[in-house]
Amino acid sequence: MESNTSNNNSKKPTTADAPVFGVNEMRLSWRQIAITTIIVIGVMAVTPSAWKHAERFETGPNYRIPYAISADYWLYQRRADSLSQLVIPVVGDSVVWGEYVRKEGTLSHFLSQESGRQFANCGVNGVFPLALEGLVGQYGQAFSNRKVILQCNILWLSSPKADLSIDSEETFNHTELVTQRFGAIPCYRADAATRMGAFMNTHIGFYGFVNHINTVYYGQQSLPRWTLQESDTDPPTRPNAWRNPLSPLTFQVPGEPIDDPARGQNSRRHHAWNSRGQAPSHFEWVPLEKSLQWGATKRLIALLKSRGADVLVILGPFNEHMIADDQMLEYRSIKGNAASWFRSQNVALVMPDALPTELYADASHPLTDGYQLLAREIAADAVFKDWLKR
């Protein structure tokens, strides 16, 4: 009878017979890794430049980055790069951008009208000095070796919260633009992964381009998030899961809405700050020497000057009618010290008078007629005229 041990004659598998790389289907050699790396780097370098030629980006004398895509810093850089040397950029926060007015009612528009020179609206809605420092530093190389107007808004010193020097955690706009160093901004508590992602998005050009695609075409979402976005129906569905992921790519940067219900003289928001009985307020002023926003402003001036820019600062227009009488002395001291510093740095400075109270929408934003009057006063200022000529 055949023994049950006859199966022992079969050869047992050994380590040498096992696949070299186990479950891996393919393992690149060092030569293949090098070739792949070169291809990827080439694509990352070429694609953003090629995209600019394919994508329609229509601007005009009153163009400003639309509110809906305010976080598209790659587009901001493209806009800045497109400016002629004869055009003077006006850089600043939502006061320059024009929070309550249409693009034809902004400071840059009326400056062009009053002075006979062409000015460009290079403000960004929601930006502040700490973020503006990062925006100009990473995306404003086009502001080198030319005249630049920088608007300085005292609003950012009106409280520790506005200054971002408050100890408790706060959320704020444009976090990718601020310094990602731990402890630099007390109220900014992002984790290491978030900070690293923000740093890469603003310091590696291709990541900024990807952010442009996500912001303009995919509703400020990454492609995976856009694909899984749920509808407002009950039960919710995922309509984008069945769409061609390339279908949103229209190669056309959207402009502002023709009829924006939130801005312009026909808007329900376009009214004087005190039209509903609001009284003057008390502010928690932050001294210049302790202010994070003021420190960013000084560094921004130094950066622009190091790049050969001829800078003129507009200090204002803060709504002084909103300040309680017992705080006016403190406000004027802060404003005067700021003005003294600008002059000590040989920076051309214009300090327009406060506008009539009915021409302010809030603490720092003028209404349309306010911008027109402000531009008229600036254009008539001797310092401004000399700065234009030199």
Q: Considering only 27-31, 239-243, 331-335, 377-381, which range has the smallest mean pLDDT?
A: 27-31
For residue 199, is pLDDT > 80? Answer: yes
For residue 264, is pLDDT > 90? Answer: yes
CA distances from 106 to 81, 96, 110, 112, 170 (A): 21, 7, 7, 10, 30
CA distance 220 to 213: 8
Within a domain: 230? no
Query: What is the average per-residue pLDDT within 209-215?
Result: 95
Query: What is the average per-residue pLDDT within 77-100?
Result: 97
For residue 306, is pLDDT > 90? Answer: yes
Q: What per-residue confidence (pLDDT) applies to 169? A: 95
**Which structural domain range is residue 240 located in?**
58-157+236-389
Within a domain: 308? yes
Q: Considering only 21-35, 173-187, 361-375, which range has the smallest mean pLDDT?
A: 21-35
Residue 283: CB atoms within 10 A of its CB come to 19
Within a domain: 149? yes
Within a domain: 163? no
For residue 73, is pLDDT > 80? Answer: yes
Query: What is the average per-residue pLDDT within 162-173?
Result: 96
For residue 308, is pLDDT > 60? Answer: yes
- pTM of this structure: 0.89
- Note whether 152 and 297 are within 8 A (CB): yes
The CATH number of the domain holding residue 327 is: 3.40.50.1110
Count up the domains in the chain and report the number. Answer: 1
Within a domain: 1? no
Q: What per-residue confidence (pLDDT) applies to 27? A: 82
CA distance 77 to 321: 36
Within a domain: 206? no
pLDDT averaged over every residue in the chain: 93
Within a domain: 162? no
Per-residue pLDDT tens digits for 115-140: 999 999 999 999 999 999 999 999 99
For residue 23, is pLDDT > 70? Answer: no
Query: What is the average per-residue pLDDT within 256-272?
Result: 93
For residue 375, is pLDDT > 90? Answer: yes
Per-residue pLDDT tens digits for 316-364: 999 999 999 999 999 999 999 999 999 999 999 999 999 999 999 999 9
Sign (positive or negative) of CA dihedral 278, 284, 285, 291:
negative
Within a domain: 328? yes
CA distance 254 to 218: 12
